[in-house]
Amino acid sequence: MLTFREIGDFVVVNLKVEYPDQDFLPIEVAGVLKGFLISLRWSVLRSAQSKKETDPYSAIDELITQDRFATEWVTRAELVDRISYTSGLDGAMSEITLRVIEGVVQRQIEETGTAELESVGTIQAEGAGYRIALSTILKAPPARRRPQSLAMGAI
Question: What band does 81 get if pLDDT is binned at 50, 70 and 90?
Answer: very high
Give helix 76-87 / helix 26-51 axis angle, nearest 10°. Answer: 140
Task: Check if the beta carbon of residue 115 is closer than 8 Å to that of residue 122.
Answer: yes
pLDDT exceeds 60 at position 96 = yes
pLDDT exceeds 90 at position 79 = yes
Question: What band does 10 get if pLDDT is binned at 50, 70 and 90?
Answer: very high
pLDDT exceeds 60 at position 113 = yes
Instruction: Please provide the DSSP assignment of 83-132 as one string.
Output: HHHHH---HHHHHHHHHHHHHHHHHHHHHHS-EEETTTEEEEEETTEEEE
Task: Check if the beta carbon of residue 97 is closer than 8 Å to that of residue 87.
Answer: yes
**What DSSP state is assigned to residue 63?**
E
- Displacement of CA 15 from its chain's centroid (Å): 20
Question: What band does 146 get if pLDDT is binned at 50, 70 and 90?
Answer: low
**pTM, full prediction:** 0.87
**pLDDT, the chain, mean:** 91
pLDDT exceeds 90 at position 51 = no
Confidence (pLDDT) at 64: 95
Please state, in angstroms and rounded to a whole number, the distance separating the CA atoms of residues 84 and 82: 5
| Non-local CB neighbours of 102 within 8 Å, separated by 6+ positions | 68, 69
